Structure 1
């Protein structure tokens, strides 16, 4: 974890531009309103102490008129306090959700673009595990807690300034008689409050340091546990088919034991803080009265002045105790903000690695010719081991080529063509302004209506209902026509065979000129794969086709082969 100053600067570079975004006028007005409302709250707190002094003076004087006057003032203070508190809550939450929305879009935009969400999983620089948890949970904590902590800090600074002045005035002058000299002490209650709160803050901060590290570890283990559960849910069918439940439960237990260990570590760190803060809170109730009581007993101040001094002392000590009171919140904010920064740093490192001129990177270039050209192409693994070397070939528009040999290397070739695998050397020239359509072993079917899942990433309005229904029938999926407007998790609801046929439906709807199929029909059997290949050949006769397949009959649909 980096130094506090450098960490704060990095966080503000990432999140600070929110106040300069498109809605900056509304955001700045809301920020100004929050500042004004905070000042109003401080003013009300000051008025309450003055009201308290007047009330106790009226009680000491046994004045009924004075008491009734204070009751009337209390109603006004009551109404003003409720109004300011309600407005303050709404403005603060407006800023919190707005900042979270803006930062979520910014981080998601950096993550979900040009395949960076896939590529970042292959680099070993900054910590970037569980990006979903970092975006969903840590961005929320980083923004909501930041505004909450900054507001409370500003509030306490105003509190400190306001009540230091009041307490200084109420303290008067106390003369310390040493026998041979009399020393006047001005504002003695202020000095006592400063020493009292500063000593408690330093001690409390030192005691609470382990909590920051413990909180960071706990949030990481919680994210790992969530990820394990999500992964099991996404692969529930495969787990059920091979009866892997016992293994999964053991894995969940291991992940949760990590949470238990982190939880106990956090509890241990928190225990010392609570022991300290509970004792501090008890002492804070009695200490101001004990400090101010002698002057009341000696008759130098009234009962009202005594109570006002006590309240001012407590407010001042409370303001000075902000580091202790907010230690847990700061620890949680720091840990979450650090996790967001780590993800962004990983994406920055990835971007630098890709754009930096490097002889050990595959170069992608657009060409004005309708060809796909490989020049001295070498594909490597992340550890530097070469998968394929000296690939020199040219695939023309409409040509059908079978990618034979190692399917793993063929998959890396497709990823290199898509710009997802820059690791290697050589050059790939792509046909300019041509849509490259990739068909993986299982097409992605987002949750929603089946119609939306099939048309993805295009909009449903781009294809007529009749065209969609006819294409489903061509692909042997006529039974799904009635389910087009149903909402479901189609990756779980449909068997793999139907999902692969839906991949063909999507292909025929999109009508691309360049098709890259990677084991796209391995669940259909020999006859099913041949049927789909015939359909593609008939409906898209002019499209270039590159295919990775283990089906021997697939070769009849291709003009030549490239062996990797």
Structure 2
């Protein structure tokens, strides 16, 4: 059997082409028709279920509702504007560490491409030595490959390291940017309670930022590396096979790119929808954990299963839709990019022997088959790398679409935060006539004044048409009224949590002058000391000339000093929400109030889990520390600690004036004390006569 070389392979290929062309015209025609039908079928498959996609887009709020427009997540001029905006955040300046790492990544990419070209030359020399049976040349080639393996391995690992670090830097910069914007100015409250455009901001601030950073970092490498390879490999290949050999793969991939662009679905939109559905699914799990006790009491497990299963089903079906589209696109990618490159590649590899410059090439090689085979291997390596580079460059358009999807989600968060900054809210059923109106906050050191302030919920519901009252320091106020009448809403507006649509509010300018103590206090993860001084740190506590001994004294007043010994000191860190009982949590919140000693304190059912006779101590000590008390509560036992009453009737009316500490209130107080005593001792309650 004759030996196989480049010439015999080429002769066999040409003979097969002639045979197929002249002897099997019918088969060729059928093959072409079949291919056309397959393309048409695949195109139809890619366009299927379009209505389902639109439904999901509407559900995810990813379409602009006014007029015909491209779906969000598309790669267009608008996307580039958004991307540049976030790039300025991710890359602070030309002298930043991010720029240095990107420059290092670029240099590493150039070095790796140069090493790939040199290895292609070495591979050709090794094959040349094998065919010539030149042992010295063969061993020299192997040794050279071994030498190149060391820097190549270092560069490959360095590239991966740099890309991961750049993605981490991008994530850090964006995270810090949004932490400042999201947590300051009460946006973390307003984004969920006053605005309903973003239902899961935690998803945007954690997962979406991370994926955006990784996508951008990978995109730079996946775009710049193929582009660099195309330039350098084309230049080297041009000197070997001429302009025709270089132009042929470019023409093929250009045709493939046009076709892929035409049939490719909007993966950017699909990605954005998937992230939105992921956020909703994750948010429902968070709701179950956050309200687990209430759900368990109501036996709401079956209802929650139905709700969360429906949400997961929407996510699951959308993922299936994406996978199907990726499957059909994968077929096109393989046909056009992978196997198409084989066909074009062999045509290019045959150029030196059969192309326009074949005569000159054969004269230079003098028919040396070992030289032709060595050049064939070298050209193969160069062409494979060039084809891979062009293919990656084309396919990376899908990665660009994914980045467009993540950028859309980040831009939506940016828009909402900008709107919240200027007091612009979007919420279902909100009264549009109220959005443009705003009341006025006025600085006043020692008083709280509400002047003609309407009490409206964020959705526009009118709770109370207008409220006016003035409270000076030392005027302790009791707020009373049925549930849902607007008691807490008054102080949400006063604390700038809800928008002030009209009127004016005068209050101390310093934020710490008004303190809020809720029924269920917030106990962050940290030390026992942190629970008392929150949101201060230990260094700020020292500046206030507070010591651990003074903190212990506060706890002793509230009979909480035993917790210090029980838990092992003020430095002990626990999940205090689980460690402390309901009464201990509320008294810990009062300890926090004593520590900060504000001018005014809003106590919203803050002693509902505290013994009735212990309330005297809490309120007496607060007044002794110069704190003006504003209490929202249904418990008549607290009336005697206040001087004025703000009472709502539940029908939009209210009254404000001096508190009538009548005998009936004292009788009611005595009844509650006696009831508490009987619960503690087990003795029957004594009959009381008016």
TM-score by length of 1: 0.89
Contact residue 361 and residue 424 of structure 1 kept, 8 A: yes
Q: Out of 174, 177, 180, which is 1:106 matched to?
A: 177
Residue 85 of structure 2: aligned partner: 13
Larger radius of gyration: 2
Query: Could you tell me how far 1:294 is from its partner in structure 2?
Result: 3.8
Worse-matched range after superposition: 297-306 or 26-35: 297-306
CA distance in 2, matches of 1:320, 1:214: 25
Q: Equivalent residues in 2 for 1:245-394 (5 A)?
A: 245-280=301-336, 282-283=338-339, 286-295=342-351, 300=361, 302-353=372-423, 360-367=437-444, 369-394=445-470
Query: Could you tell me how far 1:203 is from its partner in structure 2?
Result: 2.7
CA distance in 1, matches of 2:435, 2:595: 39
Query: Could you tell me how far 1:156 is from its partner in structure 2?
Result: 0.9
CA distance in 2, matches of 1:359, 1:159: 56
Confirm whether residue 130 of structure 1 aligns to residue 200 of structure 2. yes
Contact residue 208 and residue 272 of structure 1 kept, 8 A: no
Q: Equivalent residues in 2 for 1:73-222 (5 A)?
A: 73-124=144-195, 127-172=197-242, 187-222=243-278
Contact residue 159 and residue 316 of structure 1 kept, 8 A: yes
Q: 1:134 to 1:494 in 2, by over 3 A?
A: same
Query: Could you tell me how far 1:559 is from its partner in structure 2?
Result: 0.6
Query: Could you tell me how far 1:404 is from its partner in structure 2?
Result: 2.6
Residue 395 of structure 1: aligned partner: 471
Residue 638 of structure 2: aligned partner: 554
Query: Could you tell me how far 1:359 is from its partner in structure 2?
Result: 6.4
Residue 607 of structure 2: aligned partner: 521
Instruction: Name structure 2 gaps, 5 residues minimum.
Output: 1-70, 363-371, 426-433, 649-690
Contact residue 19 and residue 27 of structure 1 kept, 8 A: yes
Contact residue 443 and residue 500 of structure 1 kept, 8 A: yes
Confirm whether residue 475 of structure 1 aligns to residue 558 of structure 2. yes
SS at match of 1:512: coil
Query: Could you tell me how far 1:342 is from its partner in structure 2?
Result: 0.9
CA distance in 1, matches of 2:79, 2:414: 13
The CA RMSD over aligned residues, in Å, is: 2.6
CA distance in 1, matches of 2:574, 2:291: 16
Contact residue 379 and residue 388 of structure 1 kept, 8 A: yes
After TM superposition, which residue ranges in structure 1, 4 or more long, deviate above 6 angstroms? none
Q: 1:281 to 1:62 in 2, by over 3 A?
A: farther
Contact residue 448 and residue 487 of structure 1 kept, 8 A: yes
SS at match of 1:353: coil
Q: Out of 49, 63, 68, which is 2:134 matched to?
A: 63
Q: Equivalent residues in 2 for 1:480-559 (5 A)?
A: 480-481=563-564, 482-483=566-567, 484-524=570-610, 526-527=612-613, 529-537=615-623, 539-540=624-625, 542-559=626-643
Contact residue 521 and residue 589 of structure 2 kept, 8 A: yes
CA distance in 2, matches of 1:370, 1:240: 46
TM-score by length of 2: 0.74
Number of residues of Structure 1 aligned to a counterpart in Structure 2: 544
Query: Could you tell me how far 1:504 is from its partner in structure 2?
Result: 0.7
Q: 1:351 to 1:256 in 2, by over 3 A?
A: same
CA distance in 1, matches of 2:292, 2:92: 45
Contact residue 30 and residue 95 of structure 1 kept, 8 A: yes
Query: Could you tell me how far 1:227 is from its partner in structure 2?
Result: 1.3
SS at match of 2:536: coil
Instruction: Name structure 1 gaps, 5 residues minimum.
Output: 173-186
Q: 1:354 to 1:427 in 2, by over 3 A?
A: farther
Q: 1:284 to 1:359 in 2, by over 3 A?
A: closer
Confirm whether residue 440 of structure 1 aligns to residue 518 of structure 2. yes
